[in-house]
Amino acid sequence: MAISKSVKNAMVAGNYIRKMFEEGIALKKIHGDANVYDLSIGNPVMEPPEAFNRELRQIVNHPWPGMHLQMEAAGYTATRTTIAAQLSQDTGLKFGLNDIVMAFGAAGAVNVVFKTLLNPGEEVISFTPNYFEYVHYAENHGGRVKYIASDKNLNPDLAALEAGITTSTRAVVINSPNNPTGHVYTAPTLKGIAEVVARRSAELKHRVYIISDDVYANLYFGQGKCPRMAQHYQHTIIVNSFSKDLSVPGERIGYIAVQAQCEDAGDIVKGLVYASQVLGFINPPAIMQNAIRNLQNASVDISIYRQKRDFLFKSLTEMGYAIVKPQGAFYMFPSSPNPDDEVFVKELKDLLVLTVPGHVFGAPGYFRLSYCTDDRVIEGSLKGFKQAIAKYK
């Protein structure tokens, strides 16, 4: 066998979304681009804000000596300083330059954190529905993910969390706004999670960290700032990326932030820097670090995503789909009319509408759709959604 058994097995589930995307390309060749409605992949079509293009032009048109050389391992001082200042403003906590480590997007950041924290066989708890790659990222570093289900309103089961934390638990990872659901944990919910983790850590005399995947935190449809876990638990490690709010997912630029109040903050930051080096994530691209330095408040127009959400939510619920209304990100997670979500997703595909079955995210009986696409695709998909659910009424 040319590849390892673990990689071969992981490819079956891990490639599902990419497979749907590629099947969409094949269908478009048969039926034409305008007749296939791909809602399977979270690859935003919205262009970056003009401020991003302006920063790139400034860098390219006014180069300086050494701008393409490696910098200190944690990243450019100026960039980390502005990120720390913005995080301080967003959370009301004090973050400094030395609390930040630059990373290759949020995916690279999660891998670096897992590499830094996990001993062989230790667990990371994740609430389902969840971002399925967490499983593979933990396995990359000798760990494993323990699933804990959310309730019908997509909030975590705190009793199950309490029972699930053991001396094998190294961290709890949360993602809010969430992929695949768009659900946002309220401040009381975050506080409840923090209290459980703190209590169990004390009882077990074993510190459990919370890893807060905040990649969609700036795509929040509520009032004010998105609630953040760091405001409730001092041993929080934040991973984030500029991919979604600046609509630059191909640029792979993100960061890790360690709560300054974390008792092991200094050692963790040193571990993060070392892990970045040995994983080959040495120095995220210099141009991107410089480009995002002055863009901490920049974002795509979030109202456009809100309009897409409102239109699609109204249209699907009127057809009879049951959905918890998303409060952020650009995903929706309807219940599948057929309990076998894979069968229903196949029925949608036959109607040229591409989605992803919920079991991929640890939640069978649902399916995910992404509305970070053109209005033409969203509007064109409605006929297929209506035909698909008709047979189940």
Segment 26-56, tens digit of pLDDT: 877 887 778 889 999 888 889 999 999 999 9
CA distance 236 to 211: 6
Only one residue has tokens 């120095």, namely 283
Residue 14 pLDDT:
59
Q: pLDDT band for position 21 (50/70/90)?
A: confident
Residue 13 pLDDT:
56
Q: What Cα–Cα distance (Å) separates residue 208 from each residue in 158, 197, 259, 262?
A: 15, 7, 14, 11
CA distance 154 to 128: 8
Q: What is the pLDDT of residues 322-358, one digit of tens each?
A: 999 999 999 999 999 999 999 999 999 999 999 999 9
Q: What is the mean pLDDT of residues 372-387?
A: 96
CA distance 27 to 350: 10
Instruction: State percent of the chain over pLDDT 90.
Output: 82
Contact 216, 329 (CB under 8 A): yes
Q: What is the pLDDT of residues 119-165, one digit of tens each?
A: 999 999 999 999 989 999 999 999 999 999 999 999 999 999 999 99
The CATH superfamily label for domain 5-48+300-390 reads Aspartate Aminotransferase, domain 1 (3.90.1150.10)
Q: What is the pLDDT of residues 73-110, one digit of tens each?
A: 999 999 999 999 999 999 999 999 999 999 999 999 99
Q: pLDDT band for position 312 (50/70/90)?
A: very high
The token duo for 61 is 């048109």
Is the pLDDT score of 201 beyond 70?
Answer: yes
The CATH number for 51-292, chosen from 1.10.600.10, 3.40.640.10, 3.40.190.10, 2.40.110.10, is 3.40.640.10
pTM: 0.94
**Domain boundaries defined on the chain:** 5-48+300-390, 51-292
